[in-house]
Amino acid sequence: MKYSPVDILLFLRAIPLARRAQRVKSEPLNQVVIEMSRRNGVAVSHPIDRVAQAAARATSRWARWFGGLDSCLTRSLVLGAMLRDRGKVELNIGFRSDENFDAVAGHAWISVDGRPVGPDSELADDTYSRVLEVPFSSSEQSRRSSA
């Protein structure tokens, strides 16, 4: 597969975020989101689908190269940080019961202005009951942390 210069640029912007997303293993989720939301997003002119592909590629490569996590949560953290200037960007976490295993399955995805985006959005609200929304917008972050 041949990548355009824009795809390469987006990937290079996503790699450091993929490294930061790995902190979710050892730090509270809201702290990781706040730290990642302080980073500049990418230009609004880039289509969300291309940004989402770069975020997924960076997370996958980071996991393969350095043994980190490549999960819906880490992909969503990277995507949310890259899209943070696109409006109301939120990390959503939902759960559903799994009848086959008597267990609970979780899923994470990003929404922009209330609309699920990215590769992990396919299962979003239809399959999983949303239980947590964490904003990536720095203005909403400061309002929530001061409350």
67/80 Cα distance (integer angstroms): 22
The structural domain count of the chain equals: 1
Q: Measured on CA atoms in the order 80, 81, 86, 89, is the torsion positive or negative? A: positive
Per-residue pLDDT tens over the stretch 87-116: 899 999 988 866 666 667 888 999 999 899
**Predicted pLDDT of residue 127:** 76
Per-residue pLDDT tens over the stretch 47-87: 999 999 999 999 999 999 999 999 999 999 999 999 988 88
Residue with tokens 């940080």: 81
Domain containing 20: what range? 5-146
Percentage of residues of the chain with pLDDT beyond 90: 54
Helical (H) or strand (E) element with 142: helix 138-146
pLDDT for 143 beyond 60: no
pLDDT for 139 beyond 70: no
79/36 Cα distance (integer angstroms): 10
The model carries a pTM of 0.86
**Predicted pLDDT of residue 32:** 93
